[in-house]
A and B are shown apart, each in its own frame.
Chain A
């Protein structure tokens, strides 16, 4: 039971991470294609505020405050009762609202699969492709050292 709960939490977090990383335009497009319901009671927001990003001294030492970033959050309740949340960097209120609805729908066992396959999976695939492209472009700038042999010996 506890293992199942931990797995569920990890999967929900992964879905929220995918939504937070994705652009609002992509989420709206997939939402319209999927025909998922977009009605929900707004319990909070969407509202924009700040979070203070923390780093660590020397990379791994004590935490310190680096600076702020804009974040938009929303909390919604579905007619079926599930409450969903979104926190995402930036100021896109439409994205925060839809992502909160997606989080609420994800918690409904009857809807989870639909949200995963029609929204989360395509978003994640696009993110993975973009990351791989970035990684490959960076890899092309990797220095390959070689040794010049000089002299006769």
Chain B
């Protein structure tokens, strides 16, 4: 017999009302505007865009405030919103060599065309809390230095001249880029599909895996060949126009990780590469992505798969924090019937166990009961 149980409508409605109240907080404190979040919590907005896999700063800001600052909840909201929109197509691949660069550093070459541009970085700050910021002190305009615009080729292109580094990743001529939003994940997967999954993957998860490769689990000695952050232009081929239509610009972070490689049966000694590409200014994520991309190329390069970061199915199946939170958090939803069934099972097993371990006691009990 199955008895359906209903209830909780009023409790749920009131809980959501309470959530709205707590989200707003003390009414004497001004409510946050979306433009304040976009401007002043910009890197949080960028994380929601990157892991929500949707470039739209205002929507990401709305998601952050609606989620009370819970980033994974905000990412969930953005992912859900995405599914309501029609798809116009795939852009032409972006050209990061023509980026309007806001930051560009290389740990492999001191002097390189275009130079080392620190940009708005936390690097070299002392990580001391700033009481003046708490007091709302005015901030000076940044300095400017007028220079000729200089070409800034990717560092990988410079390294390639010596032939000691593998080329940019190529796929077979007739390969159509896979799309995890259209087709279910299948293992083993091609590198392009892996990169799409990594780009929306959880920053904390990829950071931990990247860190594990540095600590010796799938060791592959990495250097940051280059990190560049800036705006790239998007173009879309559409049937109604004889040229690719320009859509505007998006900010992205690109990381070229360069890894020492002693060679294998499949490839000669050279530098190999991992690649990171994420929406917004998300340097840590781009670096972690590049480390994981390189580690996941183990089979392709003839390396032994010995560590978690090299296990494609493990990494890609668990990198999506919306999926992860869905499965973990569903555990708190009512499981009354499942639990009753298990409770009954455990009672029976316990009775059998006790009958086996202690037959006389059970016998006495039965007699006493009779």
Partner of A56, one of B88, B93, B175: B93
Q: Is the CB of A51 within 8 A of B86?
A: no
Partner of B177, one of A51, A54, A139: A54
User: Given A54-B177, A66-B199, A145-B110, do A49 and B86 touch, yes or no (CB 8 Å)?
Assistant: yes
Q: Is the CB of A89 within 8 A of B55?
A: yes
User: Which residues in B have their C-beta under 8 angstroms from that of A135?
Assistant: 100, 147, 149
Chain A nearest CB: distance from B171 CB in Å? 4
User: Which residues in B have their C-beta under 8 angstroms from that of A88?
Assistant: 247-248
Residue of A nearest to B104 (CB): A138
Count, A-B residue pairs, CB within 8 A: 230
Of the stretches A16-24, A34-42, A115-123, the one at the interface is A16-24
Cβ of B54 < 8 Å from any Cβ of A? Answer: yes
Partner of A85, one of B89, B96, B245: B245
Contact residues of A between 47 and 73, Cβ < 8 Å to B: 47-71, 73
Residue of A nearest to B175 (CB): A62
User: Given A67-B54, A70-B85, do A57 and B168 touch, yes or no (CB 8 Å)?
Assistant: yes
User: Which residues in B have their C-beta under 8 angstroms from that of A145?
Assistant: 110-111
Partner of A136, one of B49, B147, B157: B147
Cβ of B102 < 8 Å from any Cβ of A? Answer: yes
Chain B nearest CB: distance from A87 CB in Å? 5
Of the stretches B9-17, B21-29, B235-243, B324-332, the one at the interface is B235-243
Cβ of A33 < 8 Å from any Cβ of B? Answer: no
Q: Is the CB of B117 within 8 A of A142?
A: yes
Chain A nearest CB: distance from B281 CB in Å? 13
Cβ of B170 < 8 Å from any Cβ of A? Answer: yes
Cβ of B76 < 8 Å from any Cβ of A? Answer: no
Contact residues of B between 41 and 70, Cβ < 8 Å to A: 49-50, 53-56, 58-59
What is the bound-complex CA distance between A116 and B200, given in angstroms? 40
Q: Is the CB of B86 within 8 A of A50?
A: yes
What is the bound-complex CA distance between A138 and B152, given in angstroms? 13
Q: Is the CB of B249 within 8 A of A21?
A: yes
One digit per residue, 1 when the CB lies within 8 angstroms of any chain A CB and 0 when it does not, for chain B 121-164 equals 00000000000000000000011111101000010110000000
Cβ of B351 < 8 Å from any Cβ of A? Answer: no
Partner of A62, one of B55, B96, B169: B169
Q: Is the CB of B243 within 8 A of A64?
A: no
User: Which residues in A have their C-beta under 8 angstroms from that of B181?
Assistant: 52, 65, 68
Cβ of A133 < 8 Å from any Cβ of B? Answer: yes
One digit per residue, 1 when the CB lies within 8 angstroms of any chain A CB and 0 when it does not, for chain B 91-115 equals 1111011001111000000110001
Q: Is the CB of B196 within 8 A of A59?
A: no
Partner of A87, one of B56, B86, B143, B245: B245
Q: Is the CB of B110 within 8 A of A49?
A: no
Q: Is the CB of A65 within 8 A of B168?
A: no
Residue of A nearest to B103 (CB): A138
User: Which residues in B have their C-beta under 8 angstroms from that of A59?
Assistant: 96-97, 154, 156, 168, 254, 256, 275
Of the stretches B32-40, B187-195, B300-308, B337-345, the one at the interface is B187-195
One digit per residue, 1 when the CB lies within 8 angstroms of any chain B CB and 0 when it does not, for chain A 117-143 equals 000000000000001011111111111
Contact residues of B between 2 and 20, Cβ < 8 Å to A: none
Q: Is the CB of B168 within 8 A of A142?
A: no
Residue of B nearest to A48 (CB): B85
User: Which residues in A have their C-beta under 8 angstroms from that of B249?
Assistant: 21, 89
Q: Is the CB of B85 within 8 A of A50?
A: yes
What is the bound-complex CA distance between A131 and B91, given in angstroms? 23
Partner of B279, one of A13, A67, A133: A67
One digit per residue, 1 when the CB lies within 8 angstroms of any chain A CB and 0 when it does not, for chain B 270-285 equals 0001010111000000
User: Given A57-B195, A59-B154, A131-B100, do A140 and B145 touch, yes or no (CB 8 Å)?
Assistant: yes
List 4 A-B pairs, minimum CB-CB distance, nearest first: A58-B168, A61-B168, A57-B169, A136-B144
15 additional contacts (CB under 8 A) given A67-B279, A138-B103, A141-B117: A13-B244, A49-B86, A50-B85, A52-B87, A60-B168, A62-B192, A65-B180, A68-B55, A85-B238, A87-B88, A90-B58, A139-B117, A139-B146, A140-B142, A143-B116
**Sample (5) of A-B pairs whose CB atoms are under 8 Å apart:** A48-B85, A59-B256, A59-B275, A66-B279, A143-B118
